[in-house]
Structure 1
């Protein structure tokens, strides 16, 4: 099966670590390309390319403020990722419940051995 283009969906876009770092930086505020480049220690053209990919899948929004373009996170576009990951939450919760039961059993056995 052919792999989807990088810009086809959020999953492919966030597969690249630098793009995830950009999303982390944009989590709570707007930032310009030069500010992002400084934070990431990457050249501005590289950051612009990553932002283009994130914009195409609508993970970031951009607005003009004079000559500057400010980027912000669009959390709604992450919903498919969150829903997919959320499906694993039941697995982890069940695993932690089983672990908790096992620890409780060990504590009870330890308490009986002390008697």
Structure 2
């Protein structure tokens, strides 16, 4: 289910250059401890999903899954995003949890 509020926050992050897309960019942001939240597409392949979850768990970064998160950031082909701004990451998680879904990962 698409949430326009979450899409708006992702769009803000992209416009303010606080959003990285693609597996390689997300991986680099997680390892350099810049990622405050990782957003994966619900259509991610199982292998990629497991790699992301393992990396996020190892580095203490929360991860959530949405439908087409890349399109909200203007990066239509990206199936995973890293949000670099703490305030935007909190706002996205709050809106996500308001849907009645808990995020995967560690609280920060």
Could you state the TM-score of these two structures normalised by the residue count of structure 2?
A: 0.29
Q: Which of structures 1 and 2 has the larger relative contact order (alpha carbons within 8 angstroms, sep 6+)?
A: 2
Report the structure, 1 or 2, having the larger helix content.
1
